Chain A
């Protein structure tokens, strides 16, 4: 077990709604990464936080936002949900900013109906 936890495991919601996904990194890890995994797009990097600050942005939509709290857990907020947002959302953590190995959580499966 890598130690990264994500809640909830599954989420089913309707179009237009807003959801929040939560991630707790491994103990001692300062960096948190969010990824989206969908059938058509594969694994896409969304955003990275390091010690509470945004570090890097990937293919993250404007309807999506994230933050990392003082206790280092992170939340990914998805709003105005569309059918195409249905995917598996992974969180990963690493010890430092960029060059360390990333350890993945089990993912949250989001289904937008």
Chain B
């Protein structure tokens, strides 16, 4: 089965603290994974994709095939990072399979 699991519905951390948003996937082939972010009342935006291996807004994510994970990390959270974060997997029919999302709240 092809599936994306984001185990945390809500994650609340203090400004300046490290952030890790968890994403686990189930996929038999070579996965292509994405993180999208949705700020309040705004559209979904691509944050990063694992094949590009870039860092956007200080966020990074490493694909761990052994643990079937693609956790999103940032060493020092900022208040403007508060948003909904979605992990997505490109399925075998090329469509995106989405996790349920994690709401990140950065406390001042």
Contact = CB atoms under 8 A, between A and B. Distances in A.
Interface residues of A, number: 22
Given A42-B100, A42-B101, A98 B94 contact: yes
A56 B43 contact: no
B96 interface: yes
Interface in A1-25: 2, 4
Contacts, number: 43
A105 B46 contact: no
**Contact count band on B:** 10 to 19
A111 interface: no
Interface string A79-113: 00000000000101000011101111111000000
Interface of B: 36, 42-46, 49, 86, 90, 93-101
Interface of A: 2, 4, 33, 42-45, 48, 56, 58, 90, 92, 97-99, 101-107
